[in-house]
Structure 1
Amino acid sequence: MDAVIGYLLHANLLTVKVSINFDNTYARLPERFYARLAPASLRVPKLIRVNRGLAESLSISRDWLESEEGVAMLSGNQAPEGAEPIAQAYAGHQFGGFVPQLGDGRALLLGEIVDTKGDRFDLQLKGSGRTPFSRQGDGKSALGPVIREYIVSEAMAALGVPTTRALAAVASGENVLRAEGSLPGGVFTRIAASHIRVGTFQYYYARNDLEGTRLLADYVIARHYPEAADSSNPYSALIGSVAKAQADLIAQWMSLGFIHGVMNTDNMAVSGETIDYGPCAFMDAFHPQCVFSSIDRGARYAWGNQPDIGLWNLTRFAETLLPLLSENTKEAKSLAESALSQFSDRFADQYIGGFRTKLGLPSSAPVTLIQDSLDLLASEKIDFTLFFRRLTQVAGGDSHQDLSVLFPEEEVFEKWFSNWRKEADPGNRYSEMRLANPILIPRNHRIEQAIQAAYRGDYSLFHRLVDALANPFDEQTEYEDLESPPLPEEVVHETFCGT
């Protein structure tokens, strides 16, 4: 540790003593797994928000995080004692094309924290400056992506979706140059179960580094899927475990109308958490081929394509482990295919179960009613969240009038509603429906409004959104305006990658 502290001091990064329980296991892997370096210092960083509840669960002093020294850490100007800043190496398929070296181009893993339950989490800065993986980038972040990731990741956590978390947002006090022009910068502090991606495995596989692949696989098993170690073939069990975690995750995304937007293999965490909220979005009007990402011109990552892309990514993951599965190529492929087969069945069960709950359908109701319902929403261009919100109110005893007014074709709606009434069991499933159908989601136009206000130095909309979305299933009269879909002039047609 003394050597590390000495390195950091040499790199002009000050260290500060604070009680953070660091235990940096990834930094103990061979140094070809990462690059050690210090984040770029900022002259006048300003704290925007600290996630006090998350800080408490991590046993980090909330008051310290909001102090001058805490802000210095959150902006990258100081490293706490025990931190070992590293930029992780990884590769990835981006829109189907393989890039053999990507890595943390604007992020640094400060270290790992063990929380009050004994669980391990990464503490990472995003937007902290150039790294050896930055390529032509500046390693910085505009303030907009910081605001977006804070809002959406915390909303996802409140919705019960596995996700990375927001610990803090800081305004850098400096501008960054992007396609839109010169924009205020920011630094985001992210907490994750880990930052290991499918692309991390691809990095070593592309280099024929079998030892590196084995070390990484053993590390992931020990950190995320220890039960796989007891299997007759731990690496096959690892593929199956990651496949099931991704099946569960993507089914949850789809039940909420969420579109990740950039499901490249370097944006799929093997932990099963949602990671990297770049051009993500929640749908307003439903359509299975809905896309928001400005860079997804072929609709590769549309809402309805996400399960297929998930399996495609997992297949790339399994490819990296073939040499570990068996020395016999045919047997290795058979083991990989068997492990991957768990994805489709698991996804179907979770997807159907999720929409049965959202619609208040018993197991005896025909599965076709789910697709019929989604087809209706698509053909009538109905707001996804508002439809399920009002359907839940009907299940709670309200008149279906408020639901029917969403539909331009009353006859079409009444035919569907009659069929739903015949098959559904809303009275007995009202409580379940309430927990499956949020009242509030981070709507795209509200996020955009918060971002634009933040660029003007006004964070009130940002704070209001974060506060409201902390309880997405609760009736909150003070936030009723946030339930509304966008007006025509407020519709967000495109979302953008933070880089």
Structure 2
Amino acid sequence: MSDFFSRYTELGEVYLVPQRPQQFEHAQLLLTNSDLITELGMDVDQQQLRDYLAGMSRVENIKPVAMAYCGHQFGHFNPQLGDGRAHLIASFATARGHTYDMHLKGSGATVFSRGGDGLCALGPAVREYIMSHAMRALGVPTTQCLAVLSTNQQVMRQEREPGAVVCRIARSHIRVGTFQLMAMNKDVDAMQQLVELCIADQFDDISSSGEQRVLDFFERVCLRQCALILKWMQVGFIHGVMNTDNTLINGETIDYGPCAMMESFSFDAVFSSIDRQGRYAFGQQPNIASWNCGRLAESLMLLMDDKDAALERFSGILSQFAEEFNEGYQQMWSNKLGLLSWQESDQTLLSELLSLMQQNKLDYTNTFAALTNSLQPTPLPGYEIPEALADWTRKWRRRVGDNNLSAAHAIMQSVNPAIIPRNGMVEHFIDEFNLAKHSDEFTQWLHALKTPYLYQVYPAQWLATMSNEQTYQTFCGT
């Protein structure tokens, strides 16, 4: 049974501003993650959940708040951000002792709205529901979408669209931008409290004290970010808006606005409509994650007495980030290719593959799924290796043949998904929900996404590369 309470209250109303969500009297629950409710032991029924999301009642009379933070957006510092269309309505503890936040998005304007309406369109809400389900099944640390509410009102974006509210569940909503705001305010006490809150909740094995404790905390955050980016790249995920206010300290993926799955392989792949310079392209994500960690280090300097010594130590930890990523990156490709050990010549084999994939616009997921499928005793139809890779495949098979083929296949199947949330399918279901608030195929497709590493025969459209991928764009939804 859930134990609901107010969280982060010791930080004060500078950082958690009391704000009441907008009320949507005629709203209805559209999508509910019943499995997540059961898993977390949440004591909430459908009517209660509807009323919480619609702003019609409070969770056990807990005062909703808008969380304050600042941050770098596309490299430029913005001193005033915060939850402009979101409300933290409660937190709760599970039977395992883990704490989670219930956070609404699209729930109305707050003091941080900066002229916006504080609302969310149904399309981005459906996208978040799909993507958070899929990412978790793919093994990627992520916030989770508990439910989507149709407000039965219209919002104005590029055109008039149905409105929605998303209920997001996360272990924590503390961001790099939260620390940046405290640093800007020179609020030593609040930052020290926040470090301790994060350690107690996410890094409770840290036993050091003083400035070493801050450094150890920073190192753990860096490791979480590094592991997250490796998971993104393993499955071909492009976040699209890796601003510091969208970087959670606990290493979970947050904000599924302008995200997309890479289909035709390219390190330069970008789908976000607002990323005109390619800052957050697929291949740039590791550099940006490290850069964001650097902004956290700058903020944590507030807690250090000897600034010169602290700068050197923070820099050393950031160097470790690069080393950790490079080691994990090599292991990622080794696993995706079924290589039980990495040899110097394997870099040439990998480079040749990636070059052929980019030249021939080969689908990232389908290519590795085809290679994986080819090692099965009886390969399944629908996972054919592209003709452009025929010569390369012979080289790869000779290399894999040096190892145990069944072991190679097992490794590949554990990291190369057979099915992902295809961009075309996501848009298809968004269109269906916008038109009818319902889709007969949706439940079946979402069920398949829960076992992405299960190789079986799927409908062809579930595996198909988007036909208009070169012009495809995703939007943040505000």
TM-score range, shorter chain: over 0.9
CA distance in 1, matches of 2:445, 2:249: 30
Alignment of 1:300 with 2:276, yes or no, is no
Q: Any conservation in 2 of the 1:256–1:385 contact (CA below 8 Å)?
A: yes
Cα gap change, 1:153 to 1:401, in 2 (>3 Å): closer
Q: Any conservation in 1 of the 2:367–2:385 contact (CA below 8 Å)?
A: no
Deviation of the 1:404 alpha carbon:
6.3
Q: Any conservation in 2 of the 1:221–1:229 contact (CA below 8 Å)?
A: no
Which runs of 5 or more residues in structure 1 are unaligned? Answer: 1-18
Per the normalisation by structure 2, the TM-score is: 0.94
2:27 paired residue number: 45
Cα gap change, 1:85 to 1:216, in 2 (>3 Å): same
Q: Any conservation in 1 of the 2:382–2:457 contact (CA below 8 Å)?
A: no
Alignment of 1:21 with 2:14, yes or no, is no
Deviation of the 1:477 alpha carbon:
4.3
Alignment of 1:192 with 2:157, yes or no, is no
- How many residue pairs are counted as aligned between the two chains? 471
Q: State the one-letter code of the partner of 2:20.
A: A
Alignment of 1:419 with 2:398, yes or no, is no
Alignment of 1:112 with 2:104, yes or no, is no
Per the normalisation by structure 1, the TM-score is: 0.90
Alignment of 1:365 with 2:318, yes or no, is no
1:290 paired residue number: 269
Q: Any conservation in 2 of the 1:57–1:115 contact (CA below 8 Å)?
A: no
Cα gap change, 1:168 to 1:415, in 2 (>3 Å): same
Alignment match of 1:466 (pick from 446, 449, 458): 446
Alignment match of 1:348 (pick from 322, 326, 347): 326
Alignment match of 1:261 (pick from 223, 228, 240): 240
Alignment of 1:457 with 2:436, yes or no, is yes
CA distance in 2, matches of 1:39, 1:57: 27
Q: State the one-letter code of the partner of 2:185.
A: R
2:417 paired residue number: 438
CA distance in 1, matches of 2:408, 2:449: 24
Cα-to-partner distance string for 1:352-379 (whole Å, 9 max, x where unaligned): 2122111101214334033332222112
Deviation of the 1:131 alpha carbon:
0.8
Describe the SS at the equivalent of 1:22: strand
Describe the SS at the equivalent of 2:317: helix
1:10 paired residue number: none
Cα gap change, 1:339 to 1:352, in 2 (>3 Å): same
Deviation of the 1:341 alpha carbon:
2.1
Q: Any conservation in 1 of the 2:133–2:144 contact (CA below 8 Å)?
A: yes
Q: State the one-letter code of the partner of 2:370.
A: R
1:169 paired residue number: 148
Q: Any conservation in 1 of the 2:28–2:149 contact (CA below 8 Å)?
A: yes
CA distance in 1, matches of 2:16, 2:234: 36
Cα-to-partner distance string for 1:192-219 (whole Å, 9 max, x where unaligned): 0111111111111122222222222222
Higher mean C-alpha deviation, range 199-208 or range 258-267 = 199-208
Query: Where do residues 67-466 of structure 1 align in structure 2 (5 Å cutoff)?
Result: 67=47, 69-81=48-60, 83-178=62-157, 180-230=158-208, 233-324=212-303, 326-366=304-344, 367-368=346-347, 369-398=349-378, 406-407=386-387, 409=388, 413-424=389-400, 425=403, 426-460=405-439, 461-466=441-446
Describe the SS at the equivalent of 1:304: helix
RMSD of the TM alignment (CA)? Answer: 2.0
Alignment match of 1:36 (pick from 11, 18, 26): 18
Identity of aligned residues (%): 39
CA distance in 2, matches of 1:359, 1:402: 19
CA distance in 2, matches of 1:490, 1:459: 25
CA distance in 1, matches of 2:209, 2:298: 19
CA distance in 2, matches of 1:136, 1:22: 32
Q: State the one-letter code of the partner of 1:327.
A: D
Describe the SS at the equivalent of 1:47: strand
